[in-house]
């Protein structure tokens, strides 16, 4: 199947560049990757967000068929990885659209925002208000970090400044979704599910991997990893590769230290690992075992099961008091970001303003630099967004994926399918591409939501 011409044309109309600031601070990437090891394993982080985490409703507006509540709470990520969020993004904001009259039960679907979906009007107009009329279903719209009221002052529109910003956004949304799911349970709403379109589909999928109960999930126009989006999809043309290549070449920390933290090693990353090793002259020992023991039958290796040093978490844990266990206390604390400066190999000349700078600036012109940067991008994206790197949702039969056949934004070639990672999930394909599906198939997305919720009610009537 080819790619949509509309997708390609639409991308050419947008001239803004992604990641103009580069990869992000190496110390931030290290903290993010360490935290990813924890939230990727559902059992290890079940007490990170307490069930009574405070949520506040600030304002309520009455409309003809619904009430719209505006709410806020502090992102748990600020407690767990202090200082990683921009100041503007620490306070999470949401809108809760509730029908004045419920039809059956009190179902709520949480909608996470796609790329460029600032504030709430788009999701409210295209999804939430129609869902009130069609199914009497409530919607909760969470605002993404880096968007709307949570957008840093130095960020241009929707263009994330650093690659690391996307991973911070994902970690924040996983935890913030848990806050909202707990809150909805306390308020007596049921069933509760999650959805999102494009990037919102990825983020809702990540959030559900962390939830310890059966839950409907409807990711639309997303797939198993975001790595293909930024390396082979049409959005790869918008990436500021010149800045990324420059930083990768000049600062040794990326290819000498950060690569060693990348743990996803599924079948679709095996070639990537070989490229890393070939281009880094044997320095990347963390991937050597892949060459000796390649994955069998295309099945991704369960990386989470190999992560050592489990954080000690107990039922009395409260995020406001810090997290028990050496992982979060010693690695994630804002006071312990010294690792990139103070734990360098002996003989490494570090200057904190130009840490890890290579003496030979000619390396910025090495022929393989572009391919190395693309491989590194795939590695870090897979580390933080590949679904095989996270726990499998509790009940995959409640997952209905809606995908466009000719999607040029979310390539499916060369990556594991969601059916392989989540056996039992359903995938529905639409004709056309990413843009046409978003513009003209919102009703199909809503029908998938209703079907997934009905499936939950039939399978778990005692939980409704």
In this prediction, residue 395 carries a pLDDT of 98
DSSP annotation string for 351-375: -TTSTTB-S-GGGGG-TTHHHHHHH
Q: Give the number of C-alpha atoms closer than 13 A to the C-alpha of residue 150, restricted to the C-beta side.
A: 29
Helix (H) or strand (E) holding 192: strand 192-197
Using DSSP's 3-state secondary structure scheme, residue 261 falls into: helix
- Number of C-beta neighbours around residue 386 at 10 A: 25
CA-to-CA distance for 453 and 380, rounded, in angstroms? 34
Q: List the structure tokens of 340.
A: 């990139």
Give strand pairing partners of 217: 194, 399
DSSP, res 156: B
CA-to-CA distance for 46 and 369, rounded, in angstroms? 41
**For residue 234, which of 433, 431, 24, 381 has the smallest C-alpha distance?**
433
Can the peptide bond before residue 35 be classed as cis, meaning omega within 30 degrees of 0? Answer: no
In this prediction, residue 346 carries a pLDDT of 36
Contact 449, 216 (CB under 8 A): yes
Report residue 430: phi and psi, to 5°.
-105, 150
Contact 332, 35 (CB under 8 A): yes
In this prediction, residue 270 carries a pLDDT of 39
In this prediction, residue 106 carries a pLDDT of 94
Q: List the structure tokens of 127.
A: 């999804």
Q: Mean pLDDT, 10 residues at a time, over the chain (464 residues)?
A: 78 80 94 93 89 96 95 97 95 97 91 90 95 96 94 88 95 97 96 96 96 97 94 92 94 88 63 44 35 37 33 31 38 40 36 41 66 92 93 97 94 92 97 93 97 97 89
In this prediction, residue 15 carries a pLDDT of 65
CA-to-CA distance for 139 and 329, rounded, in angstroms? 36
CA-to-CA distance for 88 and 99, rounded, in angstroms? 31
In this prediction, residue 259 carries a pLDDT of 87
In this prediction, residue 269 carries a pLDDT of 55
């Amino acid at each position: 199947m080819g790619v949509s011409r509309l997708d390609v044309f639409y991308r050419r109309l947008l001239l803004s560049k992604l990641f103009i600031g580069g990869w992000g601070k190496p110390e931030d990437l290290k903290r993010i990757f360490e935290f990813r090891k924890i939230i990727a394993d559902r059992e290890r982080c079940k007490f990170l967000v307490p069930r009574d985490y405070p949520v506040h409703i600030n304002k309520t507006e009455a409309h003809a068929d619904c009430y719209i509540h505006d709410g806020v709470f502090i992102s748990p990520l600020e407690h767990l990885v202090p200082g990683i969020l921009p100041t503007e993004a620490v306070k999470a904001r949401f809108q809760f659209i509730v029908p004045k009259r419920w039809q059956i039960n009190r179902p709520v679907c949480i909608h996470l925002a796609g790329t460029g979906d600032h504030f709430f009007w788009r999701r409210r107009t295209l999804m939430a208000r129609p869902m009130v009329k069609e199914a009497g279903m409530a919607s909760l719209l969470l605002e993404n970090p880096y968007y709307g009221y949570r957008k840093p002052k130095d960020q241009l529109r929707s263009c994330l400044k650093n690659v690391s910003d996307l991973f911070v956004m994902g970690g924040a949304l996983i935890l913030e979704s848990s806050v909202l799911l707990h809150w909805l349970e306390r308020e007596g709403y049921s069933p509760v599910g999650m959805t999102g379109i494009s990037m919102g589909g990825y983020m809702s999928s990540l959030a559900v991997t962390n939830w310890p109960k059966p839950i409907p999930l409807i990711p639309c126009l997303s797939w198993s990893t975001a790595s293909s989006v930024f390396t082979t999809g049409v959005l790869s043309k918008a990436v500021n590769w010149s800045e990324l290549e420059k930083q990768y070449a000049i600062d040794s920390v990326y290819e000498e230290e950060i690569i060693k933290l990348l743990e996803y090693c599924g079948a679709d990353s095996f070639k990537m690992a070989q490229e890393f090793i070939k281009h880094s002259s044997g320095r990347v020992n963390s991937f050597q075992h892949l060459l000796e023991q390649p994955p069998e039958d295309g099945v991704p290796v369960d990386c989470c099961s190999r992560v050592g040093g489990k954080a000690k978490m107990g039922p009395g844990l409260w995020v406001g008091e810090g997290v028990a266990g050496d992982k979060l206390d010693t690695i994630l604390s804002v006071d312990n970001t010294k690792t990139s400066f103070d734990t360098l190999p002996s003989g490494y000349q570090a200057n904190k303003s130009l840490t890890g700078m290579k003496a030979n600036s000619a390396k910025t012109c090495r022929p393989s630099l572009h391919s190395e940067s693309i491989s590194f991008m795939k590695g870090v994206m897979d580390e933080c967004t590949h679904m095989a790197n996270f726990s499998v949702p509790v009940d995959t039969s409640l997952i209905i994926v809606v995908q466009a056949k000719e999607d040029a934004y979310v390539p499916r070639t060369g990556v594991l399918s969601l059916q392989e990672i989540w056996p039992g999930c359903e995938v529905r394909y639409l004709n056309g591409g990413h843009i046409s599906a978003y513009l003209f198939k919102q009703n199909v997305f809503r029908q998938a939501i209703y079907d997934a919720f009905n499936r939950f009610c039939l399978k778990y009537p005692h939980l409704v």
